[in-house]
Structure 1
Amino acid sequence: MLWPGNSSVRAQSSNESLAARFRKVTPESRWELIDTIRLGFNAHHTQGLVRVGEDFFLTAVEVKRWPKKYGQMKGKFDRDTGEGIGHLFRFNRDGVLLEDLRLGEGSIYHPGGLDFDGSALWVPVCEYRPYGPSIVYRIEAGKMKAEKAFEFDDALGALAFDKTTHTLLGGNWGSRGLYRWQVAGNGKVENAASPATPNPSFYIDYQDCHDAGEGMLLCSGLRNYAGADFGKPYPMGGLDLISTADLRPVHQLPVTLWAPSGRVMTSNPAWIEVSPHGLLAYFIPDDDEQAILYVYEIKLR
C-alpha cells in the first residue's frame, strides 16, 4: 500500500486541521489515484465510511425488495417501506471483511452516513423513504455492539460528530434539513426533539459527513442533473465544508471524478483525512460485489 498506516487521529501528521487543509483545495488541484482495493465481500448498497486506525467501517443496506411508489400520496409518504437488512461492516486495508453487525428494526433498515467521536461510532438507520422514522445507534468501535441512542421522527441519512462542541449533527433525506443534538459526557443525547434548519446549499445532496476540526464538518454528496444535451441524468459530485455554528457552507468544491461504472466518486461513502503532503480521499461509489475502495491523494505542498 502506498498510503500511510495508522490515522486514528487524522491530523497527527500535521499541525493543520482537516478543515484548514481542505480550504486550500481548488478545482485546479490535482487528484492522483494511488490505490484501488476490491472488497472481498458483498458490500450491498454502500452508504457511509470512516477509518479508525488500520480498519474501515462501512454502512450498507441489503435490499430484499425495493420500495414501491404509490399511485398517490398516502399521508406524508409517496412510497412503501420495501424490505431489507442494515449492515455495519468492518474491514481491513486489504478489503478483508472482519465483522458484520446487523442494524435496524422491522421497516427501519437503511443505515446512512456515520461518524466517529473518538471512541464510538454514531450511525443513523431509517426507513427507505423520505420522512420515515429513524433509530440512532452509538457503537463502541472495539466492541461492535449497538446501543440505541434515541429514536427520531424523520429519515436521517447522515450523522457527524463535532468533537469541538460535543455536538451530534445530522441531515434528513438528501440533507435538505439539518439537525443538531447536544451530547453529554456519558454519551446521552440531551435534546432528541431537535427542530430542522433548512440546508442553504442545493447543488448537491449530502450523503456522508464528518468532523473536520475548528467547528467544521466536511460533507460529500451528489445530485443528478437532467438536460437536453445529456440524454440521461448527469451526476455531479462535490464536497462542502460546513460551519457547525450556522450550518452554512464556507468552502465548496465540485468533484469531477468517476468510477469506470460511471458513478461519481462521491455517490455515497467518502472519507477524507490529512496526509503528510496534503489530503487522502477514500471512496466506494459502487455496490454489491463490484465495490472497490478508491484511494486518491491531493498534494498541497
Structure 2
Amino acid sequence: MKLKCLIALFTVVSTLVAHQTAAQNEHDEIARKLPGYTSEKQFSLIDSIVLPFQTFHTQGLTKVGGYYFLTAVDVKRWPEKYPSPVDGFDRDTGDGVGRVFKFDESGKLVAQVTIGEKSIYHPGGIDFDGKYIWIPVCEYRPHGNSIVYRMDPLTMKVEKMWDVRDALGAVVCVGNEEVIGMNWDAEHFYKWSRKDDTRHGWELISKESNHMLTFKIQDAKYVGDTLMLCSGLNRWKHGEQSFALGGIQLMRTDSYQTLYQLPLTIKTPRGASICNNPFFPEMKNGKLRLSFAPDDDHTVVYIYEGR
C-alpha cells in the first residue's frame, strides 16, 4: 500500500514538474516569436473544437497538459442599471453562478466546478503559474468586490486566496512570485507579491493606472522575461453606428509598457469578435498558436496558427 501511494505521489509531482518546464520553454519562445507577426493575414484557422455542453457566458481560457480550462458566468438575472448611482454603483449585482470547465482536446467535458460566493459570481481571465490556475471572481459591475482564487488543475480543488475591493477582470501569474490583477476594462493594474508572514502568503505591493487602453483587456498570460500577452477589444459608438476592434498586445509586467500590438478583425460565424474574452497562446512545432472561445452558450474553440 505504501509503495502504491509513493508511486501515485511521484506521478503527480512528475506531472507538475513537466508542466512547469514545458510552460517556461513555451513562454520564452512565444515572446521571441511575436515581433515577427505584423498582420492578421499571417494567421490561419487550423482547427475548431466544438464544445458539446452549455458554456454560458465565456470568460477565460488556459491549457495545462492536454486539457483546457474555461471560466464562464452562468447568469440567472442580468444586472439592472439604476436610474441614478447608488452607493457609487451604476447597477445592481444581478444573480448568477461562476463555473470552471475542464475539457480535453476533442472537446469532451472532463470535470466542472462552481466558484465564487453570493453576489461575487463573475470569473474572469485566468493564468497558470506552473502549479495552480489563478482565477479572479467579481461582482458583475464596475468597482464591485472580488475574490482571487487558485485551483489545482489535477484535482479541481479551489482555494480562496484574498478579497479585493474592486472588480478584477483578469489575472496574470509572473512565475509563482507575483500575481497581477486587472480591474474592469483594465483601467488599473494591481500587483501582489509573495510574503509568507501574511494570512494568505501574499501582499499588495502596487496599484498603477493603465495608460494604453487601445484594447480593454479580457484575458492575459505571462510569457516569460517580465512580459505578458493580452487579448481584448474596444467598442466605439457614433450615433446609430458602432464599431468593435479586437487585438493582442505584449506588455511589460514591471512598467506595463506596451511593446507590441496586433489588431484582429476576425469574427466568428455568429458575429462575435474573435477577441471577445477567452484567449490562450501556445507554441506548436515552432509556430505560434492562438486559441479563442468568444461565443456564449454553444461555444467553439477556434485555433489559429501563425505562418
* Pair in the same fold by TM > 0.5: yes
Query: Could you tell me which residue of structure 2 aligns to residue 257 of structure 1?
Result: 266
Q: CA 1:110/1:185 → structure 2, altered by over 3 Å: closer, same or farther?
A: same
CA contact (8 A) 1:64 1:84 kept: yes
Task: Kindly indicate whether residue 39 of structure 2 is the aligned counterpart of residue 30 of structure 1.
Answer: no
CA RMSD across the alignment: 2.0
The structure in which a higher percent of residues are helix is 2
- 1: CA distance between counterparts of 2:145 and 2:282? 32
CA contact (8 A) 2:24 2:224 kept: no
Which runs of 5 or more structure 1 residues have no equivalent in the other structure? 1-5
What TM-score results when the alignment is normalised by the length of structure 1?
A: 0.90
Task: Kindly indicate whether residue 91 of structure 2 is the aligned counterpart of residue 82 of structure 1.
Answer: no
Paired residues in the alignment total: 288
CA contact (8 A) 1:181 1:189 kept: no
Query: Could you tell me which residue of structure 1 aligns to residue 208 of structure 2?
Result: 197
CA contact (8 A) 2:19 2:130 kept: no
Shift of 1:16: 4.7
- 2: CA distance between counterparts of 1:15 and 1:158? 18
Report SS of the residue matched to 2:241: coil
Shift of 1:222: 0.5
Query: Could you tell me which residue of structure 1 aligns to residue 184 of structure 2?
Result: 173
Query: Could you tell me which residue of structure 2 aligns to residue 242 of structure 1?
Result: 251
Residue identity matched to 2:137:
V
Q: Pick from 107, 130, 137 the counterpart of residue 95 of structure 1.
A: 107
- 2: CA distance between counterparts of 1:195 and 1:11? 25
Query: Could you tell me which residue of structure 2 aligns to residue 296 of structure 1?
Result: 304
Report SS of the residue matched to 2:33: helix
Residue identity matched to 1:97:
L
Query: Could you tell me which residue of structure 2 aligns to residue 222 of structure 1?
Result: 233
- 2: CA distance between counterparts of 1:102 and 1:212? 28
Query: Could you tell me which residue of structure 1 aligns to residue 171 of structure 2?
Result: 159
What TM-score results when the alignment is normalised by the length of structure 2?
A: 0.89
Residue identity matched to 1:33:
L
Task: Answer with 1 or 2: which has the greater Rg.
Answer: 2
Which runs of 5 or more structure 2 residues have no equivalent in the other structure? 1-17
- 1: CA distance between counterparts of 2:286 and 2:256? 29
- 2: CA distance between counterparts of 1:243 and 1:31? 24
Shift of 1:23: 2.0
Shift of 1:185: 7.6
Q: CA 1:7/1:275 → structure 2, altered by over 3 Å: closer, same or farther?
A: farther
The sequence identity of aligned pairs, in percent, is 39
- 1: CA distance between counterparts of 2:294 and 2:64? 20
Shift of 1:256: 1.8
- 1: CA distance between counterparts of 2:78 and 2:167? 16
- The one-character-per-residue Cα deviations of 1:122-162 (angstroms, maximum 9, x if unpaired) are 00000000111101101111110111011111000000101
